């Protein structure tokens, strides 16, 4: 691991606690950074929120039929897209 000194811009190798060039304290700087951002956390995987149709049982039959058709198409399209992504992954690997 290399650390670039924020003070003198010299790269220090290994696991240094201080800059080899100017003696800048990396550990104190990291601690200071953590203190200034107490709520910082690594971003997790993105959440995909697909706008799926909600089937309402109180809808009239033709609305339900229409929604079911759109719903079925959405499922097919998503399955297809998923399959494409899966194939693209294996081609890339
Ligand atoms: Zn330095």
> Helix, strand, coil % (nearest 5) of the chain?
45, 10, 45
- Judged against a pLDDT cut of 80, whether residue 24 lies above it is answered with yes
- Extents of the domains making up the chain: 2-36, 50-93
Looking at the DSSP bridge assignments, the partners of residue 3 are 12
pTM: 0.34
Alpha-helical (H) ranges within the chain are 26-36, 61-92
How far does the centroid of ligand 1 lie from the alpha carbon of residue 37, in Å?
23
How far does the centroid of ligand 1 lie from the alpha carbon of residue 53, in Å?
57
How far does the centroid of ligand 1 lie from the alpha carbon of residue 2, in Å?
13
Confidence of residue 47 (pLDDT cuts 50, 70, 90): low
Over residues 13-19, mean pLDDT: 85
Task: Please give the Cα distance from 69 to 51 (Å, whole number).
Answer: 15
How far does the centroid of ligand 1 lie from the alpha carbon of residue 10, in Å?
6
């Amino acid at each position: 691991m290399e650390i670039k000194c924020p003070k003198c811009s010299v790269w220090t190798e290994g696991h240094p606690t201080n800059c080899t060039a100017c003696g800048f304290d990396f550990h104190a700087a990291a601690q200071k950074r953590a203190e200034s951002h107490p709520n910082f956390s690594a971003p997790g995987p993105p959440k995909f929120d697909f706008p799926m149709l909600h089937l309402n049982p109180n809808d009239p039959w033709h609305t339900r039929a229409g929604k079911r058709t759109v719903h079925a198409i959405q499922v097919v399209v998503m399955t297809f897209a998923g399959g494409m992504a899966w194939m693209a992954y294996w081609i890339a690997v």
